Structure 1
Amino acid sequence: MTLLIKNGYILDPSTGTEGSYDLLIEDGIIRELRAGIDKTADQVIEANGLYVMPGFIDLHVHLREPGYEYKETIATGALAAARGGYTTICPMPNTNPVTDSRQMIETILTKAKTEAVVHILPIGAVTIGQSGQELADIKAMAAAGAVAVSEDGKSVMNTALYQRGMIEAKEAGIPVFAHCEDKELVGKGVLNEGVKSREFNMPGISNAVEDIIAARDILLAKNTGVKLHLCHCSTRDSVTFIDMAKKDGLPVTGEVCPHHFTMADEEITGDDANYKMNPPLRSREDIMALKEGLKNNIMDVIATDHAPHSAEEKAKSIKEAPFGIVGLETAFALTMTELVEQGYLTPMQMVEKMSLNPAKVLGIDKGSLAVGKAADVVIADPNEKYKIDVNEFASKGKNTPFHGKEVVGRVKVTIVDGKIVFQDN
C-alpha cells in the first residue's frame, strides 16, 4: 500500500522540518519527505493548507476496560483517539480488576491488537489493587509491555512504599506517572476551593492538595533517580516545582490537560457535573501559570486525562457524580484555540507537546516524520471553525463542559502504520 500526501504543511519538531512538502508512505513506513514527489501511489491525499504532523501521543487516558465497559471500551476509546488525531494512547490502570500484573498487561495488549485502531501502550499500577498496601510486580509488568507505572486516581500515601516502587521502576527502566493528591487533605472536596465552591456551598479542594504531593514526589525522584512525570498539573506551584526540579537537573516532566488551561472555576454555571474533574478547574491565576509554563517549556506535555462516564452518572449533583470529563476528541481544537491562536505556543511547539515530548517521556521511537520511521501521521485543518458537538463523538462518553464551544482546528485524517483509521466526512 502506497500513500502520497501532497502539498501539506509539515510540522516535525524531531527534525526541525517546517514548510510545504510531499510525504510518501510505503508499507507503513515514511519513505520520502520532500517537495515535488512525482510517484504513482495507491491513494493520494491533497493536503494544501493543512498541517501534516506526527501522530499525537496521549500519555493519560482511561479506557475503562475491563470492568466498566458501559463507560468506554478499548475499541471505542481507540476510535475516539483516532478522531482526535491520536495514534498512540496510554490507558491508566484503574480498571476492574486493576491493571497490576503481567497477566493484565498481556490481556490488554492482546485485546488491543484485534480491537484498537491506534497503538495502545498500557500503564501498570504501583500497588496491588491500587490499595497502597503492597507493591505490584513492576518489573514483570514492564517486561510484559507496560510503559510506565502509576497509581492514577489516587496517590500512594505510604511514602516508604512509594519510594521502593520508584526504585523498582528505575531498575525496570520505566517512568513513574504521579497523580498528586493528598488523600487526607482533599477530604470530601468536589470543586476548587474558591468562588464557586463558596457560592454552591460545596466542599473545596485547595491547591495544597496537589502541591504537597507534587513536592514530595519530586524529592523522592531526586532520592531514587527515577524518571518522574507529574500528571494533570493544575496549580501555579506545580509549575514552579517542576521548574525548580529541572534547574536541579532532575529527570522530571509535567503535563497539562486542555481543560485546565481553557476554563476557570468561575465559569462553572451551576450544579452541572460535566464541570467536575480531578484536579478541579482552578483560578485564572493558575490558568495563566499553566499557559506560561507551556510557553516557556517548563511543562512538557499536553495530555487529555480522557475520563468517560455514563450520562446517568453525570446527571447527578456535583457532590454525588464521579470526577472526570472526556478529552480525546477536543484536545487539538482546544490547544489550537487557547494556546496557538492566543500566541502562547507556536504550531511547532504544539506538536512538540502533543507528539514528540510524550514519546520522549516514554522512551519510544515515535513522534517523528523522519524518513524510515513508522507512518503515524495526523493531518488537520488549522483554520476550520466550528462548535464542539458531543453528538459527533466516537467515545461512549459525552461528558464535557465544552459542548457548544466555538473552536478552531479540526483533525481531517489520522494514519496509523500507513493505514487511514479516521477521515473526516
Structure 2
Amino acid sequence: MVDDKLRTPGAVRDAERWTAHNYHPLPVVISSAEGAWLTDVDGRRYLDCLAGYSALNFGHRHPQLIAAAHAQLDRLTLTSRAFIHDQFADFCRELAELCGKDLVLPMNTGAEAVETGIKVARKWGYQVKGVAAGQANIVVAEGNFHGRTTTIVSFSTDEDARADFGPYTPGFTVVPYGDLDALTAAINENTVAVLLEPIQGEQGVVVPPEGYLPGVRQVCTERNVLFIADEIQSGLGRTGATFACDHEGVVPDMYLLGKALGGGIVPVSAVAANADVLGVLKPGQHGSTFGGNPLACAVAIEVVRLLATGEFQRRSAELGERLRAGLEGLLGKGLVGVRVRGLWAGLDIDPALMSGREACERLAARGVLAKDTHGSTIRLAPPLVITEEEIDLAVAQLTEVLAG
C-alpha cells in the first residue's frame, strides 16, 4: 500500500517490534491532525472516520479545547485528590447539570468509570436495597463491551477479550441484548443493577429494538434495581443527542461517561448519578490519583460547554441523515446491513466480497480511515465537525471499494 522509499513502513515495523500486540492497527503512521483530517509521516492526508472510537467527537485539536489545555498547563496540572483545585467544582457542577444529576465522580478511563459504577451499585445494593452480604448481582447483555479489566472481561461474551484471563469475577448474569423478557426474568432479589450500552458500539453499532430501553427503565423502577447506562462511546453528541438514551426519553439512574469528555486531549471519565446512589461512597472507599486532575477538568469544562450549546448534537443529527442516505444506497451493492444513529454507523459487508479488515485497508489506500469489528463489519464515527462534502467523499470512496 505504501512505497518502500517512504517512512511509513519503517515506522510500522518499529511499532510492531517494541509494542505488545494488544491491537492490530492499520499500517498508517499519523504525525499531525486538524479537524476531521489526519496527516501521516509521509505527508499524506486521511479523512478520519473513526474519531478515536468517539474520543474525538469535536475533531482534532479543537481550538477552544486546545486553548483551555494550554492555559491550564501554564498554571497547574496535578494536585491529587488530597487537595481541591480551582477547576474541580466547576467541572463537577457543569457536568452534573448537563446530565441532570446531583453528583459527579471523575475518573480517567472508560473502564475505570465502569468499575466505579459496579462498585457503587454493589454498595448501594447492600446499604440501601438490603441485599445479603456478598450476594449482589448485576444483569448485563451479550455482545457487551465495557472495557478490558479483569472484572469487566469476566462478563464479556467476546472470547478474544475473555479467554485465558480467569479466574473470573462472579456476580453477573448475561442475557441477550434487546430481549426485555430475558432481562426481566434474570432479575431477582439480589439484583442491584442492569448495566447496558444503549447502543452497542464495539458489536457493530447495534441499536436495540424500539421500546427496549423504556422497558428496561420501567422494570428497573418496579424491581428497585439501578439502571446504569454506559454512554462512554454513545454519549456526548455522537448519536444526535446528548445521550443515546435521550432518543427514547429514558433517564438512567447512572451515566458512565468517558472518551469525548477529554476532548481527545487527556483521558477523562466520570460517573454521574443522584445523591441517593453516589452518596453511598465515603472517603477512602474509592479514588484515583489522576481522577479529576486540573488539566483534565479544564479541558472537560470546555467540552461540557460545547455540548451545552446543542450545536454538536444538531450537527450529528442532521449530518447523520446525510450519512444514512448515502450508506443505505449501498445496500445490495456490497453492503448487506446498515445501522445509523447520528454520526455513528455500523456497516455489514457481504462476507463473500471481503472482510472488514480488507475493506478498511482499501479505504485507507483511498484516504479514508475506518475500523473493522467482528469479521465483515466496519464502523464509521467521524468527528462531529465533519462537513457534508466530507461525508460525501467518505461514501464515494466506500462505493469504489465495494465495487472492487
Q: Calculate the TM-score normalised by the size of structure 2.
A: 0.30
State the structure with bigger RCO (CA 8 A, min sep 6), 1 or 2.
2
Q: Calculate the TM-score normalised by the size of structure 1.
A: 0.29
Greater share of strand? 1
Greater share of helix? 2
